[in-house]
Amino acid sequence: MGTKYDRKRQSENMRKDTTFVQMLIAKARKLIFESGKSITSKAVESKIYQTSLLPTRSAFSTRLASLGFNHYSLYVYDLLHEFELGVWKSNFTHILRVLYAEGGDKIQALNRRFRQVPTFGRYTIRRFSNNVSGMKKMAARDFEDILQCIIPCIEGLLPTPLEKVVLDLLWDLAVWHALAKLRLHTETTVKILDQATTNVGTSVRRFARACTNIDTRELPREEAARGRREAANGKPNTSVAAGKKHKKLNLHTFKWHNMGHVAEMIPRCGTTDGYSTQVGECEHKRVKKMYARTNKREHEGQIAAKGHREGLLVKIKEKENDLKSSEAQQSKDPGDVSTVSLSAPPSQPKKKRGRPKKNSFALGPEDEDRLPETSFHAHHHISDSQRFAVDIPKFLSDYFNDPGVKGFLPLLKDHLSSRLTGREFDGDEHVFSDEERDSLKIIDNRLFRHKVIRINYTTYDMRRDQDSVNPRTHADIMVLSPEEVIEGEHTELGHPYWYARVVGIFHAKDLDEDWDLYYVNIFVDRDMFMRFLGGGIGHMATRFIVKIADTLRHFFKIKAAGVEDPSEMDDEGLDLDEPVGADLIVEDDGAGSGVDEDQEDGEVEGHEEDEDEEGGDEDEDENENDDEEDDEDGDEEEDEEEDEEEEDLGPEDENREPDGEYDSGYAAF
């Protein structure tokens, strides 16, 4: 998958609804309906077996074939089932097998690290379960979150040669997934996706070869699922003495092969969010909730009635909101910062006797600070409540010996003066004079704490979105760096963003110990990914480090020179004979990856054939969930059956080797 040979096969062997195909289907149907032959009879299979057809003609073919329409082009890639619950799940499962084979507390360490990953956004990254390696009750969204957060969680758990291969694999899978799920594509991003497909194919095959000599066996859940299947089928359990079966990474699946079609499918059919099954799967939750409110008898009609009633209530609510919005816009300019007037009078929290508790400027769940929905036209939105006041002189007195409040009042006035005078933010480097500071008066010398601030912004695909920053739960932020850096000079100072933690107004409860380094997850969502990749329509380029050419060098180890058509890339790198445009060539120093590069492809293929002789073990890779009720975006995950093995798609490609400067991708940023 992803090789030049594979692309050639895709273009030359594309299935078409030709007259010959229609004739074969017609002959097979005639044998079944007129001659009374069975569908599985040799007479019928001789007509359709070699071309993998079925004795059923599509309605699209019947109606549109005469117009030259090829109905086989309607079959599009399903990211939820084919990648998140297919390719990525199988790779993640094999990584867990490797960790089990390494022994020790590797699995426990992986689970512990996932538990430390904070949430992000509104249901973007959810809280991970205590036992991620168990993969219990996981939906596709959970596997997606694992892919986006696994790189820092697995770092250091594997031996150095193998770890480099695994980190390269995870990086390439995350890049491909982020690009494939973009809701807005350009010609540039499609080319990047095509190159990412090549890199994924290389990394996965390298990972499979690196694990050849590792004794990878079934996971505990796989062994238990196999035992239940054998018991249900009435087969004697002959594997008790042998223990867990050997398991290898299976690349002979349709889901793996079909990844190579995504890059050419997007320009033809549109972005993947238009035909993903994720939307339909999410609707299953709604029906299940309604079923619980029925009497369980003839529930279909009751669910339909409840759905109709719910739709009426939604329409009433929308009309009410429209009326309120129109009234609010008549009394206030929508471009101004929205505020909320609260009926409750300002009041101080009731003082308690005894030892005062440690002051914290992050309001807790018990503190009410109402902040209703507002217009997306406002830049940001905070409450105007005065219920939680901070007396500045008392604050400075209480924290007199704290180094964090050294020069606090002058710095505060400098910051407020800069905002009031409209100065462009430069890190508050400008120092005002004492006279200018004295001209700024803070009424009653009090500041007021708030629970959240909502910030509206435009995403890479020109949609309005909103972030909610809470010092207690979601406090980590990134802002555009004001540092001016000339391209080519002082590249170490050229990072485009500042990273910060909101601690309230001044100080907050210490949520964790101090860390030497923080991992910045660029895959957390598509908008974050495009901030680092660049190329968002209408967005400013964030210095040279995130311009497309330089970013590609970090992503794919490509050196700025001239862009090549990814379809012309073979296993030895890019074809430099006919460059198309001003972009990139591959730079490969041939560094080792922990895999024996002298190993012939035939040895790997022969090993895979040996595995096939174990009685179809590979066909059980995705059958292990037959007895588990895994949710699929709110729905119970369907039992996944392994696709039929297909012929080898081509020679292994060696067009990219990790080198010393490329530390699993994410270190480049």
Q: What is the pLDDT of residues 201-230, one digit of tens each?
A: 999 999 999 999 999 999 988 888 888 888
372, amino acid identity: P
The mean pLDDT value for 437-442 works out to 82
Neighbour count for residue 226 (Cβ, 10 Å):
21
pLDDT at residue number 78: 92
* DSSP secondary structure, 73-118, as one string: GG----IIIIIIIIIHHHHHHHHHHHHHHH-TTHHHHHHHHHHTPP
Instruction: Kindly give, in sequence order, each residue whose CB lies less than 8 Å from that of residue 436, ignoring residues fewer than 6 positions away.
Output: 417
pLDDT at residue number 658: 38
CA dist 626 and 613 (Å) reads 23
CA dist 159 and 164 (Å) reads 9
> What is the radius of gyration, based on Cα positions, of the chain?
30
CA dist 500 and 455 (Å) reads 16
The mean pLDDT value for 298-317 works out to 92
Q: Would you state the structure tokens that stand for residue 252, as one six-digit string?
A: 């002979």
Neighbour count for residue 278 (Cβ, 10 Å):
19
pLDDT at residue number 548: 53
Q: Has residue 279 got a pLDDT over 90?
A: no
pLDDT at residue number 586: 33
Give bridge partners of residue 446 from the DSSP assignment: 391
The mean pLDDT value for 295-301 works out to 89
B/e letters for 413-437, b = 16+ CB within 10 Å, e = fewer, are bbeebbeeeeeeeeeeeeebeeeeb
Neighbour count for residue 637 (Cβ, 10 Å):
19
The mean pLDDT value for 268-283 works out to 88
The mean pLDDT value for 153-169 works out to 92
Give bridge partners of residue 586 from the DSSP assignment: 558
495, amino acid identity: H
First-to-last C-alpha distance (Å) of the chain? 28
The confidence band for 544, taking pLDDT boundaries of 50, 70 and 90, is very low
Q: Are strands 631-632 and 635-636 parallel, antiparallel or unpaired?
A: antiparallel
Q: Has residue 606 got a pLDDT over 80?
A: no
| Whether 599 contacts 209, CB under 8 Å | yes
Cα→Cα distances 312→3, 31, 309, 340, Å: 53, 53, 5, 29
* Best-predicted range by mean pLDDT (222-226, 302-306, 496-500, 558-562): 302-306
Nearest to 263 by CA among 6, 21, 593: 6
118 or 234, which is more confident: 118
pTM: 0.64
Instruction: Kindly give, in sequence order, each residue whose CB lies less than 8 Å from that of residue 374, ignoring residues fewer than 6 positions away.
Output: 338, 340, 381, 454
pLDDT at residue number 99: 94
Kindly report the length of the chain.
Answer: 669
Q: Has residue 588 got a pLDDT over 70?
A: no
CA dist 636 and 629 (Å) reads 6
Helix, strand, coil distribution of the chain in percent, nearest 5: 45, 5, 50
Q: Where are the domains of the chain?
A: 4-74, 79-233+245-275, 281-318, 380-399+443-556
The confidence band for 174, taking pLDDT boundaries of 50, 70 and 90, is very high
Nearest to 116 by CA among 666, 665, 519, 529: 519
* Best-predicted range by mean pLDDT (225-234, 295-304, 487-496, 645-654): 295-304
To the nearest whole number, what is the mean pLDDT of the chain?
Answer: 75
pLDDT at residue number 467: 87
Neighbour count for residue 294 (Cβ, 10 Å):
15
pLDDT at residue number 601: 40
623, amino acid identity: N
CA dist 134 and 130 (Å) reads 9
Kindly state the percentage of the chain with pLDDT values over 70. 70
| Whether 404 contacts 456, CB under 8 Å | no
Q: How does pLDDT run across 322-372, given as a tens digit for each residue? A: 888 888 877 765 554 444 444 444 445 554 444 444 445 677 766 776 676
pLDDT at residue number 570: 42
The sign of the CA dihedral 136, 139, 142, 148 is positive
**Scanning the structure block, which residue is given the tokens 């933010």?**
425
Q: How does pLDDT run across 35-67, given as a tens digit for each residue? A: 999 988 989 988 888 888 889 999 999 999 888
Max Cα separation, the chain? Answer: 103
pLDDT at residue number 534: 78
Q: What are phi and psi of 573, to 5 degrees?
A: 125, -160
pLDDT at residue number 386: 75
Q: Would you state the structure tokens that stand for residue 506, as one six-digit string?
A: 């001044």
| Whether 80 contacts 633, CB under 8 Å | yes
Q: How does pLDDT run across 68-116, given as a tens digit for each residue? A: 888 888 889 999 999 999 999 999 999 999 999 988 899 999 999 999 9
CA dist 79 and 410 (Å) reads 54
DSSP 8-state secondary structure symbol assigned to residue 595: S
Q: Has residue 662 got a pLDDT over 70?
A: no
